[in-house]
Structure 1
Amino acid sequence: MASSVGLALCGEALVVRGGSRLLATSTSSSDGDSLFTYDCSTAQKKTQEQEQKGEDGQPGDKGSDTILASTFSKSGSYFALTDDRTSSCFSRLSRIEHKGSEASRTVVRRCTALSFTASEEKVLVADKSGDVYSFSVPEPHGGGKLELGHLSMLLDVAVSPDDRFVLTADRDEKIRVSWAAAPHSIESFCLGHTEFVSRIFVVPDHPELLLSSSGDRTLRLWEYRSGRELHCCHLSSLQEPAEPWSDQRFAASRIAYWPREQCVALLCDRLPVVFLFQLDTARRQLVYRQQLSFQHRVWDAAFEESRGLWVLQDCQEAPLVLCRPVDGHWQSDGDSAEVERLSALLRGNWAMLEGSAGTDGGFSSLYKATCDNMTTYLKRKEERLQQQLERKRRRDPLPGPNGPAKRVKAGEEPRGCSS
C-alpha cells in the first residue's frame, strides 16, 4: 500500500513527499539551497467531466490530494507522482532549478504504485482494483490504456530492464510475470509468500533476479522468469529479543539497492530499524550484514550512488540521516554539512510531513482476518453437553444409601417418614 510520506533519489536529485506536497532539491552543495515545491491541492485540475470520469469512461474516485506514490525514470529525466485523482508526469525534474513541462491524467481508481518502462516511453500505474494502465510519456495528452488486471489489489508494479516483462505484486501473496507485448500471456508466477507482497524490485545489474518483501516478514530472492525462489530471509530470526517491537506483527515494506556494493536495505512498516543485506550473486543468496537502529520511526530510505544510504525518519530535529560504510560497518555520518543543510530545508517544511504521518495507515489493514469456526463450534458443543448433563442430574438424582431415590408426588408424604 502506498505511503503518504516518501523519499526518492536519482543522481543528486532528492525528492521528499508528504501529504499533498513534494519538495525537490539537490544533495550537492554547489546548487545551494535551490528548492522546487509542488502542491497537488493548488495545482491546475482537469475539467469537471474529466474529474468525474476515469480513463475507461466509468465514474472515478473523488479521492483527495494526498500523494500516494512517486518514482523517477531510469535516467532521471522524468518524475511521476499520483494522488487520489490524477497521475502527473514532470520532465527533467532532475534539474531542480527547472521544473520543465507537466502533464496530468485522470486515473480510474486509487493508485498504489508507479513504474516507468526502461525506454521511458510509458509510465505504468497500478491501482487498488487490480488493474495496470499505461500512459504515454511523449504524448502528454493521450489517454490511458488498460494493460492487465488482477482479481486482487495490486501493491506494486515493476518492469524488466529490457522492457520485455511486466511484474505485478498483489494482496493475495502472488507475484505475476507477464509479457509486456501481450500482457494476457503469463510467463510465470513467483509463489511462496504467505501474506501480501508489499514490494518487488528487479535488480538492475542482474536483470534476471527479483527481490520481494511481504507482510510475512520475509525478504526473498527469485529467478523470476522461471518463478524459482532462490533464497528466503526470515526477519524473525534476525530480531533481537531486547527490542521493544520484537513481539509485534510488522510487514517488510520497502526495498532499496546500491549497485556499488550490491547492498540491499530493507525497511519495515512503522519500525525504527533498517536491515542491511549483501547480494551474493555467485551463490544466488542474500547474506545478512547489519541492523541499523534509530531513535524514531523510519519513513523511507534510498541510496545515493556516491554517498551511501539516506534515511528519512520521524524526527523534526534530524529528519535526514546519511549512513556510510566504514571498514565494512555502516554508521551514521552525523557531522556532515550536507545532512544539516538538507535537514534544515525539511525542518522549514515540517508541517507537510508531520500532518501526513498520522494519515499513513501502513500495511496493517492488508492482513486478512482469520476465521476459526471449528474452535467456536467445539466450545459451543461442550457448553451444550454440560447443560444437558445438568438438566439430567436435576431430573434423576443420584441414589442414596437405601437405594435409588423415588420421586414423590405433590402432597404425598414420603414412605418411611414418621410424623
Structure 2
Amino acid sequence: MLLDVAVSPDDRYVLTADRDEKIRVSWAAAPHSIESFCLGHTEFVSRIFVVPDHPELLLSSSGDCTLRLWEYRGGRELHCCHLTSLREPVEPCGDKRFAASRIAYWSQESCVALLCDCIPVVYIFQLDASRQQLVYKQQLDFQHRVWDIAFEESQGLWVLQDYREAPLVLCRPVGGQWQAVPENASLKKVSAHVQENWAMFEGMAGVDVGFSGLYKATFDNVTAYLRKKEERLQKRRQNPPPGPNGQAKKMKPGEASVRCPS
C-alpha cells in the first residue's frame, strides 16, 4: 500500500513510501529499475519530502514516531529524531502512537515543520545540511485539531485548524521563537474566505481521521494458550469424566483428570 509519493527536483527519481516500513527510490524513466531502498523505519512510512534546496536529501516520517533524514540515492540514513522524547507534557498522551500527516519546509530559514495526525502539535526543526542533521527548535501547541500546515515565503507558517471562529493561525519567528501573530489584514482576509466556504470542511469537523488502522497488529500466542488451558482445566474440575462403573470420579482439589489413550 503506497502512502506517499515524491519526485526528485531533477525529475530523475520517483520515491514511494509504503505501509511495509520502506522507502523505494526508482528511476522515473524506468520505474521497475530500483536505485535504492531507504530502510530503518519500524512502522509504516506516512510522509516523504525531498528538500528543494538540498535535492540529495530526503525527510521521512513514520508510525514509529520518528522523523528521519536520508541521502536517498545511496539509501543512507543521516539522522533520526524520536518525537516521543521531544513531546512536552502539555497533556498526558500515555502510550498513544502518532505519525506525521504533513511535512512543510521553509527555505528562507531551512526550517522544517512537522504536523502530527492525532495531537494538536506542530514540531519545528532546523535543517543543518552541512552537518547532515536536524536540530529540534520548538513545539507549537494548539487548542483545536490541526488539519494542515503550509509555509509562505513572505508570511510564515499558516495553520488550518478545526475551529470555524478562527480557522487560521499565522506563525512567525520572533526573537528565535515561533509565535502566533496578532490578526492583521492578510490573516483577516484569508480567514474570512475560509469561513465563507466552511461548508466544504463540514465533513471533517470533529472527525478523527488518522493512521490508526495502519499499525502492525501484535499477537501474544503464549498468553492466549495459557488462558485457554486454564479454562479447560477449570471445566474438567467442574465436570469430571465418568469412572469405570459409569459414575463420576471424585478428584482432589487442584487435580486434573487424565484419560489413558484407547
| TM bucket normalised to smaller | 0.7 to 0.9
Structure 1 SS opposite 2:67? strand
TM superposition shift of 1:193: 1.1
Task: Tell whether 2:189 aligns with 1:334.
Answer: no
TM superposition shift of 1:356: 3.3
1:204 to 36, 40, 52: 52
TM-score for both structures, normalised by structure 2? 0.87
Counterparts of 1:338 and 1:247 in 2: how far apart (Å)?
Answer: 40
Counterparts of 2:33 and 2:203 in 1: how far apart (Å)?
Answer: 43
Counterparts of 1:384 and 1:355 in 2: how far apart (Å)?
Answer: 49
The aligned residue for residue 148 of structure 1 is: none
Counterparts of 1:246 and 1:267 in 2: how far apart (Å)?
Answer: 19
Task: Tell whether 2:211 aligns with 1:356.
Answer: no
Give 5+ residue unaligned stretches, structure 1. 1-152, 399-419
1:366-406 per-residue CA deviation (whole Å, 9 max, x = no partner) reads 223223223211222233345557759x63558xxxxxxxx
Structure 1 SS opposite 2:158? strand
TM-score for both structures, normalised by structure 1? 0.55
Which residue identity lines up with residue 198 of structure 2 in the other structure? W
In the TM superposition, what are the counterparts of 1:304-383 in structure 2 within 5 Å? 304-357=152-205, 361-383=209-231
Q: Is the 8 A contact 1:319 1:346 kept in 2?
A: yes
2:61 to 208, 213, 225: 213
Structure 2 SS opposite 1:345? helix
Counterparts of 1:396 and 1:214 in 2: how far apart (Å)?
Answer: 56
Change over 3 Å in CA distance of 1:389–1:360 after alignment to 2: closer
Change over 3 Å in CA distance of 1:236–1:375 after alignment to 2: same
Structure 2 SS opposite 1:248? coil
Give 5+ residue unaligned stretches, structure 2. 242-248, 254-262
Structure 1 SS opposite 2:148? strand
Q: Across the two proteins, how many residue pairs are aligned to each other?
A: 246
In the TM superposition, what are the counterparts of 1:20-419 in structure 2 within 5 Å? 153-245=1-93, 247-357=95-205, 361-385=209-233, 391=240, 395-397=250-252
Change over 3 Å in CA distance of 1:396–1:347 after alignment to 2: closer
Counterparts of 1:165 and 1:245 in 2: how far apart (Å)?
Answer: 38
1:142-166 per-residue CA deviation (whole Å, 9 max, x = no partner) reads xxxxxxxxxxx11111111111111
Q: Which range is displaced more, 243-252 or 370-379?
A: 243-252
TM superposition shift of 1:360: 6.5
Counterparts of 2:10 and 2:61 in 1: how far apart (Å)?
Answer: 23
Which residue identity lines up with residue 219 of structure 1 in the other structure? L
Task: Please tell me the root mean square deviation across aligned C-alpha atoms, in Å.
Answer: 2.1
Change over 3 Å in CA distance of 1:377–1:293 after alignment to 2: same
TM superposition shift of 1:247: 4.1
TM superposition shift of 1:274: 0.5
Structure whose alpha-carbon radius of gyration is higher: 1
Q: Is the 8 A contact 1:174 1:190 kept in 2?
A: yes
Q: Is the 8 A contact 2:118 2:208 kept in 1?
A: no
Which residue identity lines up with residue 212 of structure 1 in the other structure? S
